[in-house]
């Protein structure tokens, strides 16, 4: 979910638990780059045309960041902030609607999928699609669906390889202040890229896959996917950490395969959602 996308554009959103953006710009775009190559070609082209010829004014991959780079920049009251996350406590085994106050991704992602499916107005359909592309990425970022009373890791202070800031993307010189949330949003994604661009990372993660159909990740429900991400927050993101720790070798070694799998799963599932609802 990083100030990777845009720490530079992110406004300080107060009053909500998980304030930071999800997956940095590279992470969100990698998810979309995987998805579009797993869609039937005619469906992929139709989605590209819809988004490019609307006020979103971006292709499918770049639309992945629209909710952060444009909507958040304009959203001075933080109206849309809760859409990106749900504060599901790490010590709560089962999900409860009480975690979704005043609103959250659990409510808004299905609404945007329905709007994408049913809207007859081009602008409404395109905006809904941009939200779906973005929120499907958010749903797979562990710090956006797991909370330990620290605003989804925003108040969990750490360093990353001994540093208090990390690069946000392979193509940007800007840096993100390190806390556990931004470690997962951007620092780990940048490390995973290891000099690759986001689209090369996406191709490497996708491998020989040409369709989402039949892939194990394409099974299950949205709640199943969220539970899976929540468990990764418990088992990996928060595991063994204390405030002030340095995120380094062993932790990073355990975390990178999870980031890799979550980005791929999000791409597979995004392709499925788009194909079935557009």
**pLDDT of amino acid 24:** 76
**CA–CA dist 22, 207 (Å, integer):** 24
pLDDT bucket at 175, cuts 50 / 70 / 90? low
State the angle between helix axes of 122-138 and 105-118 in degrees (0 to 180), rounded to the nearest 10.
150
Q: Cα dist. 43→72, 114, 141, 178, 215 in Å?
A: 28, 17, 26, 39, 19
5-9, 105-109, 126-130, 271-275: the lowest-pLDDT one = 5-9
Asked whether the predicted pLDDT for residue 18 surpasses 90, the reply is no
Residue 2 has a pLDDT of 38
> Above 50 in pLDDT, residue 196?
yes
- Alpha-carbon gap, residue 269 to 6, rounded angstroms: 24
pTM for this predicted structure: 0.89
Instruction: Kindly tell me if the per-residue pLDDT of 180 is higher than 50.
Output: yes
Q: What span, in angstroms and rounded, lies between the C-alpha atoms of 106 and 97?
A: 9
Burial class (CB in 10 A: 0-12, 13-18, 19+), 179: buried
Task: Sort strands 175-177 and 246-247 into parallel, antiparallel or unpaired.
Answer: unpaired
Give pLDDT, residue 169: 55
For the purposes of burial, counting CB atoms within 10 Å of the CB of 188, is it exposed (0-12), middle (13-18) or buried (19 or more)? Answer: buried
- pLDDT of the residue at 213: 98
Q: How confident is the model at residue 73 (pLDDT cuts 50, 70, 90)?
A: confident
Query: With bands split at pLDDT 50, 70 and 90, how would you rate the model's confidence at 144?
Result: very high
Question: Which residue is associated with the tokens 């993101």?
Answer: 237
Give per-residue pLDDT as tens, 213-270: 999 999 999 999 999 999 999 999 999 999 999 999 999 999 999 999 999 999 999 9
Note the pLDDT of residue 204.
Answer: 98
Helices (H), the chain: 3-6, 25-36, 41-52, 66, 72-74, 105-118, 122-138, 180-182, 188-193, 198-206, 222-232, 249-277
Cβ–Cβ under 8 Å, residues 252 and 191: yes
- Per-residue pLDDT at 101 exceeds 80: yes
Q: Which domains does the chain have, with CATH numbers?
A: 3-277 (1.10.575.10)
Strand 175-177 relative to strand 165-167: parallel, antiparallel, unpaired? antiparallel
Per-residue pLDDT band for 146 (boundaries 50, 70, 90) equals: very high
- Average pLDDT over the chain, rounded to an integer: 89
pLDDT value, residue 171: 54
pLDDT digits (tens, 9 = 90+) for 110-126: 999 999 999 999 999 99
């Amino acid at each position: 979910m990083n100030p990777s996308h845009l720490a530079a554009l992110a406004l300080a959103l107060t009053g909500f638990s998980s304030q930071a953006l999800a997956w940095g710009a590279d992470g969100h775009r990698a998810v979309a780059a995987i998805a579009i190559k797993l869609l039937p070609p005619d469906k992929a082209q139709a989605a590209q045309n819809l988004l490019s010829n609307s006020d979103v004014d971006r292709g499918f991959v770049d639309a992945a960041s629209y909710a952060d780079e444009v909507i958040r920049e304009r959203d001075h009251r933080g109206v849309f902030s809760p859409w990106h996350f749900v504060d599901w406590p790490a010590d709560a085994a089962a999900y409860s609607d009480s975690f979704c106050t005043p609103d959250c991704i659990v409510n808004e992602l299905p609404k945007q999928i329905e709007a994408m499916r049913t809207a007859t107005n081009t602008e409404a359909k395109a905006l809904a699609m941009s939200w779906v592309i973005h929120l499907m990425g958010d749903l797979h970022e562990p710090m956006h669906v797991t909370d330990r009373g620290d605003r989804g890791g925003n108040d969990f202070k750490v360093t990353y390889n001994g540093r208090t800031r990390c690069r946000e993307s392979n193509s940007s010189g800007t840096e993100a202040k390190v806390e556990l949330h931004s470690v997962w949003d951007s620092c780990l994604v940048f490390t995973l890229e290891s000099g690759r661009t986001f689209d090369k990372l996406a191709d490497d993660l996708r491998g020989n896959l040409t369709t989402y159909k039949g892939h194990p990740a394409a099974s299950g429900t949205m709640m199943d996917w969220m539970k899976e991400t929540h468990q990764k927050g418990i088992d990996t993101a928060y595991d063994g950490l204390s405030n002030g720790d340095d995120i380094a070798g062993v932790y990073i070694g355990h975390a990178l395969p999870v980031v890799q799998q979550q980005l791929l799963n999000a791409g597979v599932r995004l392709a499925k959602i788009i194909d079935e609802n557009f």
